[in-house]
Amino acid sequence: MSARVAVPGTGSARHAPPAAYRRAGAALAAEWIKLRSLRSMLLTPLLGAVMSIGVADSAVRNNATGWAHLDSVQKARFDPLSVNFNFVIIGILLFGVLGALVATNEYGCGLIRTTLAATPQRGLLLAAKAILAGVALFMLAVVITFTTFFTGQAILSGAHAPHVSLGDHNVLGHLLGTVYYMTAAGLIGLFTGVLVRSAAAAITSVFGFLLVLPLLADKITPDAVTRHTVPYLPANLGDEMLHHHTGLRPGVAVAGLAAWVLVLAAAAAFSLRGRDA
Amino acid sequence: MSVRAGTPARLGIRLDSRLRASALSEWIKFRSLRSGPSALAAAALTVVVGAWLLGAGNRGSYLAASPAGQAAFDPVFTVLQGIELAQLFVGAFGVITVTGEYTSGLIRGTFVATPQRAQVLAMRALVFTVVVWACCTAMSFAAFFLGQSVLSPAKHAGIGDPGVLTAVFGAGLYLTFIGLLGMFIGVLVRRTPGALAVLFGLLAVLPIVFVQIPGEITKNVGEYLPDAGEQVYKLMHSGAYALGPWPGFGVLAVYVALAAVAAFALILRRDA
């Protein structure tokens, strides 16, 4: 009681909780320092860019030089955008891993205990982390996707093979869809990382979930159950942005992927609140 | 000379008791690895439940397939394909058995206690191989019998049919070798994320890259990636791969051997 009575004087101003926006600003600043000093934040996107752009360009070059030797059926089936973006899966995986590392690195070195002591508002913490990582991943994805597109189409046009430009029907939509998919993969990795709290488990989950599970699901013959579940795996929803082979409408794919991210975000926020570090 | 005079008593520890002590300490670390049981459980679940799903899913398609499709149907490989996912778990298990110790710093204690580092690594590989091989072979047999019983009206195989026992044993052996590959990569990289990226890149990403780039060179080289070891649990060897079961497995064994040589060479000269 006496402690409380003493407060109303000068002390109350000093001990009043900071305004919500200040707290959010501080959390964002702290998360930004951790994000930019994460070593993988430099290496992984670099590797992703080199792999995606390099491998896509060599595939496009192979197709471009072989263009004259294709028969009419193959020429009719040739999709300059699809050829250019077959390798987006590598970028997806690296983004997923990067997202997982953003979350688990802190658990690995024990920094998470300090972080949670400094910012006990764990929901705010997760939101700050997700927003910053999401923005960073989005910008990286824009650079990688558009560089892949411009270099790939330049190679095709140099070889006089069919190519598309940014203004053509649906092209910009496809590219933005790819950027969206890569960002979503990174966030899926991040929230999975918060859920499992270990780099190994998170990275294994990302690979299993985004790469191997859809491949295995394709090997099961379609029946009533798989026809209504398999297209909604995140990797198949993302694939839909580029290839249109599962028959879902693009809007459904965009919403489905967003639903995955949101569900994982809710699960991560819920488990972060209730568990120790 | 006088410096040596005091040592004989210590040098007198016989090799077999040293190896036994090393194996015992490796066993304690191995069985107290927190993520170990869950990694093996995830692998077992994937392989066995996968066999059930794949068997049920392919039963109908087999009956509806053309005679050529029915002839090319491989009842053993079809139900064991869950291994493609399970290998990530077993490989990650191999990685963590090593990198976990580097992360926690225990590796420094280990090397102070046993300066014979090659002996530490050899005993760890031995303990890992014995336990993981036993578990993976058991899950492979369970998956085989479950998968065949689910496939039943369609073409299915008995364990006594030619090549089947080899394939089912080979599946357990394949998973074990993937785990060993992960372990040696873990020694080389010493950090969990990096080692996992290298391992998964080799297992899951490179095959996709090689399939997508058209051309003779990629087709020929693509046959000699670590996943060539999958040949060992296939009955039918027509199609893209020309390698037979054991030559295919040999390719994987060469990768494991190369990683092992590099790991033994580096663990002796690097710090912890």
Query: What's the predicted TM-score (pTM) here?
Result: 0.80
Among A153-167, A218-232, B147-161, B224-238, the range scoring the smallest mean pLDDT is: A218-232
Distance (Å) from the alpha carbon of A59 to chain B's nearest alpha carbon = 5
Residue A11 inside a domain? The answer is: no
Q: List the one residue out of B87, B92, B251, B106 whose CA is nearest residue B185.
A: B92
Q: Give the best residue of B97, B178, B213 to mutate against chain A (max A CB count within 10 A).
A: B213
pLDDT band at B240 (very low <50, low <70, confident <90, very high): low
Phi-psi group of B75: left, alpha or beta (phi > 0 → left; psi -120 to 50 → alpha; rest → beta): alpha
Q: What's the half-sphere exposure (Cβ side, CA atoms, 13 Å) at B7? A: 5
Distance from CA of B4 to the nearest CA of A (A): 43
The answer on pLDDT for A12 being more than 80 is no
Q: What is the mean pLDDT of chain B?
A: 85
**How does pLDDT run across B86-96, given as a tens digit for each residue?**
999 999 999 99
Confidence of residue B258 (pLDDT cuts 50, 70, 90): very high
Which of the four pLDDT bands, split at 50, 70 and 90, describes residue A245? low
Does residue A11 surpass a pLDDT of 50? no
pLDDT > 90 in chain A, percent: 17
Q: Is residue A14 part of a domain?
A: no
- Give residue A139's pLDDT band: very low, low, confident or very high (50, 70, 90): very high
Of the candidate ranges A8-22, A152-166, B32-46, B160-174, the one whose mean pLDDT is the lowest = A8-22
Task: Please report whether residue A263 resides in a domain.
Answer: yes
Angle at B17 between CA B14 and CA B23, to 5 degrees: 140
Supply the pLDDT for residue A6: 46
Residue A2 has pLDDT above 60, yes or no: no
Q: What residues of chain B have any CB closer than 8 angstroms to a CB in chain A?
A: 35, 50, 53-54, 57-58, 60-61, 78, 81-82, 84-85, 88-89, 92, 95-96, 99, 103, 192-193, 196-197, 200, 204-205, 208-209, 212-215
Q: Which residues of A128-149 are buried (b: 16+ CB within 10 A; e: fewer)?
A: bbbebbbebbbebbbebbeebb
**Chain B residues with CB inside 8 Å of A212's CB?**
84-85, 88, 204
Distance CA A245, CA B120 (A): 52
Q: What is the interface pTM, i.e. ipTM, of the complex? A: 0.70
Cα A261 to Cα A257: distance, rounded to the nearest angstrom = 6
- Looking at the domain assignment, is residue A137 inside a domain? yes
pLDDT at A227 over 80: no
Q: Stretch A42-60: mean pLDDT, rounded?
A: 79
Which tens digit of pLDDT belongs to each residue from B6-57? 444 456 678 888 888 888 988 988 888 878 888 899 999 999 998 998 888 8
Q: What is the pLDDT of residue B11?
A: 60
User: pLDDT-derived band of residue B179, with 50, 70 and 90 as boundaries?
Assistant: very high
Residue A45 within a domain: yes
Q: Which of B147, B130, B166 is nearest to B27 (CA)?
A: B130
Minimum distance, in Å, between the CA of residue B85 and any CA atom of chain A: 6
Inter-chain CB proximity A226 and B57 less than 8 Å? yes
Structural domain includes residue A46: yes
What's phi and psi for A178, nearest 5 deg? -65, -45
Mean pLDDT within B56-72: 80
Tokens of B222: 């693509």
Q: For residue A66, what are the domain limits? A: 20-274
How many domains does chain A fold into?
1
Q: Count CB pairs under 8 A between chains A and B.
A: 88
Residues of A in contact with B205 (CB under 8 A): 89-90, 93, 211
Q: How confident is the model at residue B221 (pLDDT cuts 50, 70, 90)?
A: confident
Place of tokens 């995830």: B42
